[in-house]
Amino acid sequence: MIKELKDSYGHLFEDALLDEISRVGTFKEVPEGFKLMEIGQYIKVMPLLISGAIKILRNDNDGDELLLYFLERGDTCAVTLSCCLGETKSQIRAIAEMDTKLIMIPIGKMEEWAAKYKSWRRFVFQSYHERLLEMLSTIDSIAFLKMDERLLKYLRDKVNVNKNNVIHNTHQEIAYELHTSRVVISRLLKNLENQDKIKLHRNNIEVISI
Amino acid sequence: MIKELKDSYGHLFEDALLDEISRVGTFKEVPEGFKLMEIGQYIKVMPLLISGAIKILRNDNDGDELLLYFLERGDTCAVTLSCCLGETKSQIRAIAEMDTKLIMIPIGKMEEWAAKYKSWRRFVFQSYHERLLEMLSTIDSIAFLKMDERLLKYLRDKVNVNKNNVIHNTHQEIAYELHTSRVVISRLLKNLENQDKIKLHRNNIEVISI
DNA sequence: CATCAACAGTAACATTTGTTACAAAAACTC
DNA sequence: GAGTTTTTGTAACAAATGTTACTGTTGATG
């Protein structure tokens, strides 16, 4: 574990902290689709991403869903962080976007290390910062963009996160994550195909140039 | 200043910290409508709210606007916090919703006190937590609610923040903050009036029961 | 008081998004 | 391979939201 931890976080944390992390943290490997967090669950550990990606989703009471953003290597979940102190329930759902490796830290350490390590404080503040900016970006999308532009942004994000221009999703799945209906997504995707920006196949979308 | 500081933050901070705050902080009183922060400005101070309220707005490049949330007594601006370390530019606009009293802290203190005072760390983390939840709530509104429900929520929030069921806004101003058009707001407000939930007057809206 | 600008009401229409319904193709099951 | 399920395509329509245009009212100003 030490090696993978150092590769991803060595430039951020001092050796003493890396040491503590490798002692109290638990290495975990989860497959694509694995549910890491469900709304209403209590949060007991905080994840440090080593590789892979996690998608963070918001659900309301009626089952409506919306993709908020992705976590990638070097990220941690700020919503988790903020829940640590308050011992509150999760407000979000977290699903592994692909096979993912992470280190789980017991939440008690969060506050302890914040007192002890400057690099940890910087990391935590920085994580909050990034997450707030991601949230602002999400708000921009849903408030200011029309569905066709949101779909384009979604496809771009997927390509970046998965480092692959074939997107393995059904139209229905995309519709859920953008909180619209399957028919709408099919319609807009067909438009994009007619503009030669993508090619549609069953269960996957090939991105040509967007 | 000591008295007002103690009234608002005495239960949160230890005496030594209150002392430091009153030494390095600057007391400031701003009138309704005062612009505290503009997009693109560098952030050099962080505000602690003593009384009044501040509305936080998001703007995109095309001048589109959206109300994110209000800050009230005991709050601080998490977006400011997160910008402190990175020395980044503001991503939001902040306007005094009413006459407001606040204490401005030089941002350098933020990190210094985080090392020194546990209560400060708790406060900062708690502020982030609250702001993230507010952002989630904002996302819920724009993603899951229709405009009539968003308007209702807006009116409720206004009544709560201003502690007054007369809302002093034109339809155009409301339209800006909800990022829609004046005609749409007029139409929906008229519906609410027909349901006897509000009474419309020039430049203000009287909330009956919503 | 006449003029003007800001504000609000409303109709008519356009666009975007959502819904329902059905068909065809592909993949899976037995 | 017959039957079934999943996925996608598409038409027709409904609802929500946005736009344009014009009206009257109010309050401010000279």
Q: What is the pLDDT of residues A94-124, one digit of tens each?
A: 999 999 999 999 988 988 999 999 999 989 8
Residues A137 and A178 in one domain: no
Residues A164 and A137 in one domain: no
| Ranges of chain A with pLDDT below 70 | 1, 81-88
Residues A107 and A164 in one domain: no
Residues B107 and B151 in one domain: no
A81 in contact with B at a CB cutoff of 8 Å? yes
Residues B185 and B120 in one domain: no
Q: Among A85, A132, A140, select the one facing B125 at the smallest CB separation.
A: A85
Last residue in a domain, options A99, A122, A143? A143
Q: How far is the CA of B148 from the C1' of D5 (A)?
A: 40
A204 in contact with B at a CB cutoff of 8 Å? no
Pairwise CA distance, residues A135 & A16, whole Å? 33
Pairwise CA distance, residues B189 & B205, whole Å? 9
Assess whether pLDDT exceeds 80 at residue B104. yes
The secondary structure of chain A, three-state, reads: CHHHHHHHHCCCCCHHHHHHHHHHCEEEEECCCCEEECCCCECCEEEEEEECEEEEEEECCCCCEEEEEEEECCCECHHHHHHHHHCCECCCEEEECCCEEEEEEEHHHHHHHHHHCHHHHHHHHHHHHHHHHHHHHHHHHHHHCCHHHHHHHHHHHHHHHHCCCEECCCHHHHHHHHCCCHHHHHHHHHHHHHCCCEEEECCEEEECCC
What residues make up the domain containing B184? 146-207
Residues A95 and A150 in one domain: no
Chain B residues closer than 8 Å to A143 by CB: 58, 64, 66, 142, 179
Nearest residue (Cα to C1') for D27?
B202
Residues B164 and B121 in one domain: no
Residues A79 and A135 in one domain: yes
Assess whether pLDDT exceeds 80 at residue B85. no
Chain B residues closer than 8 Å to A94 by CB: none
Last residue in a domain, options A119, A143, A167? A143
Contact A132 B133 (CB under 8 A): no
Q: Which two tokens stand for residue A98?
A: 């692909």
Pairwise CA distance, residues A168 & B134, whole Å? 33
Q: Among A85, A114, A132, select the one facing B126 at the smallest CB separation.
A: A85
Q: What is the CATH number of the domain that holds B73?
A: 2.60.120.10
pLDDT of residue A48: 95
A187 in contact with B at a CB cutoff of 8 Å? no
Considering only residues B130 and A82, tell me which one the structure prediction assigns the higher pLDDT: B130
Q: What is the CATH number of the domain that holds A177?
A: 1.10.10.10
Last residue in a domain, options A143, A169, A199? A143
Residues A73 and A168 in one domain: no
Number of domains in chain A: 2
Q: What is the pTM of this model?
A: 0.93
Residues B113 and B47 in one domain: yes
Residues A165 and A93 in one domain: no
pLDDT of residue B206: 96
Considering only residues B179 and B41, tell me which one the structure prediction assigns the higher pLDDT: B179
Residues B18 and B113 in one domain: yes
pLDDT of residue B18: 95
Average pLDDT value for residue range B150-168: 97
